[in-house]
Structures are given as structure tokens and as C-alpha cells.
Chain A
Amino acid sequence: MPNRREPTTDNPPGWSNKLLAWLAHPDTLEETAGDMMELYQYRLKQLGKRKADRLYVIDAFKLLRPFARSKKKHVSGNPFSLVMIQNYFKIARRNLLKNKGYSAINISGLAVGMAVALLIGLWVFDELSFNKNHAHYDKIAQVMQSQSFAGTIQSGNGVPKQLERELRNKYGSHFKYIALTGGGGEHLLSVGEKKIMKIGRYMSPEIVEMLSLKMLKGTRSGLADMNSVLLSESAAKATFGDTDPMDKILKIDNKNAVRVTGVYADLPANSSFAGLAFIAPWKLLERDLPEWLGWGNNWFDMYVQIADHATMDQVSATIAKSKLENINQGEAKYEPLIFLHPMSKWNLYSEFKNGVNTGGRISVVWLFGITGLFVLMLACINFMNLNTARSEKRAKEIGVRKAVGSAKIQLAMQFLGESLMVVAIAFLLSLLIVVLSLPAFNQLVNKQIELPFTQPYFWLACIAFVVITGIVAGSYPALYLSSFKPIAALKGVSGKLSSGLLAGSPRKVLVVLQFTVSVTLIIGTIIVYRQVQHAKNRPIGYSRQQLLTSPIKSDEIIKHYSAFRNDLINTGVVEEVTATDSPITNTYVTNSGFSWKGKNPAMTDEFVTLRITHEFGKTVGWKIKEGRDFSKEFATDSLGFVLNEAAVKYMGLKNPIGEMIQWSDNESYKVIGVVRDLVTQSPYEPAKQTIFFLNYKRLNTVNIKIRPSASASAAVARIQSVFKKYDPENLFQYAFADQEYARKFSDEERVAGLTTLFAALAIAISCLGLFGLASFVAEQRTKEIGIRKVLGASVAGLWALLSREFLVLVLISCTIAGPIAWYLMNDWLEKYTYRTEISWWIFAVSALGAVLVTLLTVSFQAIKAALLNPVRSLRSE
């Protein structure tokens, strides 16, 4: 019997016991601990407490075998034994089938999340692999130029053709190939009577080697002869059908007869040269170029492949001054710097601000990549929440397993395996979703993505994807479930299954996280839409309805312009006609070298210039603010300017009407009118300073205002016949200005479409999870609700009781999401000069929407539970 007076001091120091249990040899722990204890009692009597303690501690330390591992086989057996695995599968299958509702929520939520992640993964992969099909991907670059205009540096693709010779002669050792290109865009290809429009370009012969084109017919040296052409496979088929195109004669734009010397495989959609249907020799274009083209005419695109030993940065730095050294002072004030833009950056890093590469599409790639991960995360959270919430259902199983000797790790493996199984099923489902939705998705993102089923790396990636998702979704439930205390689990004591007071709180945190992401996405979507709408509603200063534009392809039209115009008016469907030198929806011509009274001599001016005919104002319906429109009554108007408001501001004129403006030291123009700003470029940017003036020679676009009463299709047919009369050779091409203008929004609308999709899916997945949780809570509280009802609780009261908890979580999410969304969207809007405000009501509406959706989701379960007959719910058991 222990001594009653000092009952607790008869024990050896507790810490040494713990130490022993932890670090002694596991195989002999039982008998050593027993021996130590027995001996301690013996020594306590014999030698007294102090000495016994000391000896005990010394012995304990001497018995530590910190690195010893048990050599005995585990009693619980191999966790991977076949029988156990079979058992796991059986239990998992039974569980899935037993709770069909939960399984459906779990699997469908996961499948949707995974499908989104897959689609975005494919999209990101497509963006990242842009141009990688070219063998010399890392050695190819475009030669670009930065110039300084009035303090800001602008970078562009255009370079003068003289630069090619300069690079070849002075810097030749740095390059393997240099190719000058020009005349891109659509061209008319004709073979006999057959005429089609195809995108093609004139390029130096070296481009073929540089781009490592795959030649199906002919050789890569096919462009050596000036009158030759290489066709893409699809173009060859379109022009020559199934007959052999080799050595056949083809006419480009009705003037250049060329012989087909080769056919190359179509370039893939994710190449910067995608859709290039033919390549004609650069020399053919050069022959027709005007003599006066100099270093100042940055008309051409140049591509280079640097030498094998060279690096991009080196070469780029070396050629920086290659233009500056060859130009006069007048040109030199723009400080042109030549640099290389590597092919690896063409797609994702194409924007320049003040001469510095500032990114570009890469931000969209990041945006969508992260959003995709978030959507997947939401689905994983659903999985975790439902599994842990329903854990009590499985508590007995876990208790029994533990009682008969399952180790914690074994149970964790079981549950992890179970989630892997569910994820694998969900993945197969998501693959199906992807296959079905890929065409629609391709349309949405304007791509041609295919599932690379034949590539082994795709399957490896899929397996990795399943395993990672399974581990992310399954690890928390696995650890949570396997940590149940067997006694509590078997007794069925809820709330004590796992240690700690806040067993349910991780679930709440996860729900808050889900709704934060969803609400952020909703706010983002609203703001993106508002921005697009804002820009669309912007007053553009002219009327684009029923305005048809068509390129002038024949000099005959310009020569007989007034007869041509009269014929058009006489069709009866046309209200007015004007010709310009660039399309009104995309005024790309700029000029400089203007001077006026009070101009700062150091200012390097740049204006958008638009050459127009007298009827321009009437055709597009611009609004004169001061002065007057061009008029045929004043012959002097041929030396007159009409400015827009931006130009007046840019020039700093107080009374613009009557001011004289000198252009390039030769002619002096008089300002006769000022018009309200016309949005002719980006709808997100302020209108550029623009000069309108008369010119009947350098015209290349006809703008036709169709009578409002006439139907567009009938009018087009009539207009076409007039075109045919003056230009029988070429195909009639046209576009409607309002459609062209609408195309300026396509990028933003695409972003808007995708964010809407993501936001909708995010909220759907979150609600699916919430629905599951709500039904679980309602089920768990059946008895409580029954008792409350018996005691007189109303249905409304019960509904409030069951919904409140979730509502609070969603409201917390809204308060977190607000600032996050504001910060992100403010950042996004920064890049637009003409932008919408982020007003408070957007947040209010999003929060309200989230609350409403939550209420709807939760209420279904809550009301169902509240309406249940208490007799039935209380009688069970």
C-alpha cells in the first residue's frame, strides 16, 4: 500500500517517464518501464526518495535509444495489404451510394471546379506556348523602334527599310537571318477567273528558314526568284483545289504575276504568323515602292534571328543607335532607338510605356490563372466542409476501426484514398464537361484549343492534377476524421469527437473564404461590364449608323471620283459619300512638322491627320463648334484646316478660327473650323489632336452613308454594282462602321464574358456547398426543431434560427470582399483613361445579391425542416 501521508511523492519524476516513453527502444519499452517502476518502489524503501529519484533518472537517460526503430512487425499489419484496400473500396462505394444527395453535390461541385481549372489550364498553356512551334523560338526577335514625342516615348513595330542594309553591313556578325517584311493584310489572289482574298505578306526569302516552315512541296529557297510565291496548304487548296499548285501562275492584287514555288504547312493558331496564306518575295514589293522612302518612313516590319552565340540583350544594345547615326537633325530630335523584342515576349509582353516593356496579356493570363485556381479551391472547400460536417455519421466506423487496431495513419490513408477516388470520378466527369464545352469556350476566348489526348504529358499532368486536388481536398478531412477518440466516437458523444472547443470553426472560416472569393468575382464582373458600357455610351462625335466603309483598290475610282460619287448617289439608297485616307473608326495616319503662332520651338508635335473630301462632315454628321465646315464655294478651302477640340487645346490657341498653320516649311493652311472631338481610335482614350483637310488624291477608303429608309442588304448590292463598274478586277469589300466600332470592345467583352462565367460558377459551387451544409445542419437539429415546435415556435422563427448562422458568415464575407475587390478593380481601371467610377451601389448590390442567393439556398432546407411534423421527428429512435 502506498504511504497515505504522501500519496503523490511515491512516483518517480514524471518528465523522465515521458522521456522514456518517447525515446526508449520501442520493442522493450513495456518491460523496462515496468522494471524501472518496480525497482523504484524497492529503492524508495531502501535508499529514500532523493537517491531513488536520482538513480531512476540516471537509468532513464542511459536507456534512451533515440534512433532505435521497432524490429517487430506491426500488430496492425501492413496498411497496404490487399484485403484492407479491398475493404476500403467497399466502404467508400457503400458510403457514396448510401448518401446519394451528398455524393452528387460533392462530385458535381468538384467536377465543375475541375472543369474550369482544366479549361483555364489549357488556355494558359496555349498562351504560354505561343510561337513555340518555331524551332528558333529563342533566337528570333522583331526589330522595334522607340521615338520620343513631346516628352513621351512611343515604341512601335515600324522601321524604315534602310535599316536592313545598315544591320547587314555594320552589324552582320550578330545576326543569322534578317528579314524585312511589308504589305501585310488581305490581298486578292486570282487564278484565271477564280478570285479570293487571303492574308499574305511580302518578306525577304530568309524568313522561311527563320520560321522553320515545314515545306510540303518545293524547298525553303523558293523565294529566291522575284516572281515567285509560297502558299500555305489551305491557300493552295483554296486556289488550286486538288490539282498540283507547283509552277502554276497566280496573280496578286491583279498586278503581280507570280509562280508557285512551294507549299508550306499551315501555321498553327497559336503563332504570331497564324493565318499567313502566302509569302511573296520582298523584292516584288520593293519594286513598286516610291523612290522617296527614307529613314523617316517607318513603314515596315523587320524580323531577325540572332547569331547562335549572341544574346538578345547584347545585340539589342549594340544596334540601339543604328538609325540615329544615319539621319539628319530634323529626324534626330525624335531620338529613335532601335531594339529587339524577342519572340518569347511577342504574345504576353507586348505593351510598352515610355520605352519600357510593361507587360501586356500576361496580366490577363495571371488573372484567369488565379481565378481558375480559386474556383477549384471553392470546390475543394465544399468537399472538405461536407466531409467533416458529416463526420459524425462515420464516427462509429472510425471508433470500431480504432478499437480493433487501426493506426491513425492507416485511417488517414483510408480517407485520403477515399477522397482520391471521389476526385478521380469527378475528374472523369469534368473531362466530359470539358469535351462538351470546349467549342463554346473556344468561341468565348477566340482560340482553337484542343484536348491533347495523344500527348503523354497531358495524361501525366492529369494524374498530377487529380492527385494534387485529391490531397488538397482530402487531407483536412482525413486528418480530422482519423483523430477521433475511439471511446467518444463509440459512445456517440457529439461535439467531443475531436479535441478542442472550436471543432466547427474551420468550416466557418472556409465558408467565409468561399463567399469572399465569390463576392469579389461578382463585384469584379459588374465593374468590368460597367466599364464596357461606359465606353460604349461615350458620345463619339459622329454618327456611325448605316455608315458603310470600303477600301479603294483601284486608281480608277480616285481618278473618276466625282462620277463615282454621283453614280452612288443615283442608286437612291445612298445619302452621302466621302473618301478618306484612313477608316474613320481607325485613323492611323499621323503627321508632324506643323508650326503655328505661339508654338514652343522645342515641342515635337504630332497630329492625327485625316484627308477628306468636301462631304465628310455631312456623311459622318460631325458637329461644328466654331467656324464652318469645308465648302465648295470657297476655293481657298483646299488650303484650310478643320481642327478638333483636342487639337485646339494641344496647340494652345485662344481664337483658332483664322489662325495660320505652317506645315513642313512649304504650305500655309488657314483654320476655318473647329469640331467636337470624334472618337476615331480607342474608345478608352481621350480623343487625339486631329487635323482634317481636303485632298482628292491620297485616298484609300470610301465612306458611304446609306439612307435610313433603305435596307442594308439591298443597299450593299446596289453599291457593289457601282464599285464593279469602276473596279471590275477586285472583289468588293465593305464593313459597317458601327460593327467596326463595336469590335474595339471585343477584348473587354471577352474579359467580361469570362469573369461572368467564373463568377456564376463560383457562386454556384459555393451555394452547392452551402446547400449541403444547411441540409446537414437541419438534419442534425431535427430533434431540437421538433421540441421547439412542440413548445410553440413558429415556422418563421425556426427559419430565422436556421438561416441566421449562414447569413452572418456571408455578411462577413461581403465586408472582406469589398475592400479586396475595390483594390483590384481600381488597379484594373487605372489602365483606361476614359473609365467608369466605382460607386458604392455596386458593393451594395453584390452584397444584397449574395445574401439573397444564400437565403434562397439555405431557406429551402430551413423551411423544409421547420415544416416537419414534430411528432414524426420526435418519435424516431
Chain B
Amino acid sequence: MKRTFLGEFEELVLLTVAVLEEDAYGVSVTQELEKKTGRIVGFSTVHTTLQRLEEKGYLSSRMGGATAERGGRRKRYFIVTAFGRKALREAKQVREDLWSALSPAALQLMGS
């Protein structure tokens, strides 16, 4: 199978879902991202990304948890699939490899 690459925003969303564990749905993901990045994140973008990630098989979903503030509508909860975890690990690996390949001088320049 062809390996699918994660886009940057996809990676962020996927990671957020993993962070939120059992409580990941459209709103919580959006709020979490806003908290972590400190800027307004469009809900439509998050929603579309979640859909796409599910289509690609990184996420799976179930319906549930209707509340009054949602007008009685159910939420779609997402959890990361095994395939999604693997993709995240790979993405992390690529970064770590790159970080470790940095010369000490370059590392120093980045201030760490």
C-alpha cells in the first residue's frame, strides 16, 4: 500500500485527538487547538480535516453524548486507530531523526 503522508494541520488534529483521548469531537478539538496555538481555528477546517482523517483510516468515530446546549444533537466522537498511531509515530520519528541530525552549533542557534 502506498504510504499516506500527513499534512501539517492533519498531524496537529490527529495529535489533538490522541491527546483528548475519549473526549475528542469537533468542538473539543477546535478548543484544544485554539488553546495550544493561541489563535482562532476555523471549525469548518477542523471538521473537514477530521472527516478526511477518518476517510484515510487514521480515525474512527461513533455517535453519542447529546446535550441540551447542542439542541439535543449527538456528538461524533473520534479515536485514533492503530494505523493513525503508526502514522503519528512515523511523523515523530522523521522529526526526531532530523533533530538529531542537527549539528550542535545549529542546535545552539535555536536556543535549546
CA–CA, A528 to B104, complex, Å? 115
Q: Does B51 contact A (CB under 8 A)?
A: yes
CA–CA, A59 to B26, complex, Å? 13
CA–CA, A427 to B103, complex, Å? 93
Q: Does A62 contact B (CB under 8 A)?
A: yes
Q: List 17 A-B contacts (CB under 8 A).
A: A28-B47, A28-B51, A30-B73, A31-B26, A32-B26, A34-B70, A35-B30, A35-B43, A37-B71, A38-B27, A38-B67, A39-B43, A42-B27, A42-B31, A62-B42, A62-B45, A63-B44
Chain B residues with CB under 8 A of A34: 66, 70-71, 73-75
Q: Does A58 contact B (CB under 8 A)?
A: yes
Of the candidates A33, A38, A42, A58, the one whose C-beta lies within 8 Å of that of B42 is A58
Q: Does B82 contact A (CB under 8 A)?
A: no
Q: Does A55 contact B (CB under 8 A)?
A: yes
Of the candidates A37, A41, A55, A59, the one whose C-beta lies within 8 Å of that of B73 is A37
Question: What string of 1s and 0s marks CB contacts (under 8 Å) between B64-88 and chain A?
Answer: 0011011101111000000000000
CA–CA, A804 to B35, complex, Å? 76
CA–CA, A42 to B70, complex, Å? 11
Residues of A at the B interface (CB closer than 8 Å) are 28, 30-39, 41-42, 55, 58-59, 62-63
Q: How many A-B residue pairs have CB under 8 A?
A: 62
Inter-subunit contact B31/A31 (CB<8 Å): no
CA–CA, A62 to B66, complex, Å? 24
Chain A residues with CB under 8 A of B27: 35, 38-39, 42
Task: Please name the 4 residue pairs, one residue from A and one from B, whose CB atoms are nearest each other, closest first.
Answer: A34-B73, A62-B44, A35-B26, A34-B70
Q: Does B40 contact A (CB under 8 A)?
A: yes
Known: A28-B51, A34-B70, A63-B47. A39 touches B30 (CB 8 A): yes
B52 to chain A, nearest CB (A): 12
Chain A residues with CB under 8 A of B31: 39, 42
CA–CA, A32 to B40, complex, Å? 18
Inter-subunit contact B40/A37 (CB<8 Å): no
From DSSP, what is the main secondary structure of chain A's interface residues? helix
Chain B residues with CB under 8 A of A32: 26, 47
Inter-subunit contact B71/A31 (CB<8 Å): no
Of the candidates A30, A33, A41, A55, the one whose C-beta lies within 8 Å of that of B40 is A55
CA–CA, A33 to B66, complex, Å? 12
B65 (CB) vs chain A CBs: closest residue: A34
Inter-subunit contact A31/B44 (CB<8 Å): no
Inter-subunit contact A31/B43 (CB<8 Å): no
B72 (CB) vs chain A CBs: closest residue: A34
- Which residues of chain B from 8 to 57 have a CB within 8 Å of any chain A CB? 25-27, 30-31, 40, 42-45, 47-48, 51
Chain B residues with CB under 8 A of A62: 42, 44-45, 48
Q: Does B94 contact A (CB under 8 A)?
A: no
Inter-subunit contact B44/A59 (CB<8 Å): yes
Q: Does B63 contact A (CB under 8 A)?
A: yes
B63 to chain A, nearest CB (A): 7
CA–CA, A59 to B43, complex, Å? 6
Chain A residues with CB under 8 A of B43: 35-36, 39, 55, 59
Inter-subunit contact A59/B76 (CB<8 Å): no
9 further A-B pairs in the complex, CB-CB below 8 A; given A30-B73, A59-B44: A31-B26, A33-B71, A34-B73, A34-B74, A38-B70, A39-B27, A41-B69, A55-B42, A63-B47
CA–CA, A182 to B71, complex, Å? 94
CA–CA, A39 to B66, complex, Å? 14
CA–CA, A37 to B67, complex, Å? 11
Inter-subunit contact A33/B73 (CB<8 Å): yes
Chain A residues with CB under 8 A of B69: 37-38, 41
CA–CA, A35 to B75, complex, Å? 7
Inter-subunit contact B70/A28 (CB<8 Å): no
Inter-subunit contact A31/B30 (CB<8 Å): no
B20 to chain A, nearest CB (A): 14
A17 to chain B, nearest CB (A): 10
Known: A31-B25, A39-B27, A42-B27. A59 touches B71 (CB 8 A): no
Chain A residues with CB under 8 A of B71: 33-34, 37
Chain B residues with CB under 8 A of A55: 40, 42-43
B40 to chain A, nearest CB (A): 7
Q: Give the one of B26, B31, B51, B74 with max A CB within 10 A.
A: B26
Chain B residues with CB under 8 A of A30: 63, 73-74
B29 (CB) vs chain A CBs: closest residue: A35
A60 (CB) vs chain B CBs: closest residue: B44
CA–CA, A58 to B45, complex, Å? 11
B24 to chain A, nearest CB (A): 12
Chain A residues with CB under 8 A of B70: 34-35, 37-38
B108 to chain A, nearest CB (A): 39
CA–CA, A42 to B69, complex, Å? 10
B47 (CB) vs chain A CBs: closest residue: A32
Chain B residues with CB under 8 A of A59: 42-44
CA–CA, A41 to B40, complex, Å? 15
CA–CA, A63 to B26, complex, Å? 13
CA–CA, A375 to B26, complex, Å? 63
Inter-subunit contact A58/B44 (CB<8 Å): yes
Inter-subunit contact B25/A35 (CB<8 Å): yes
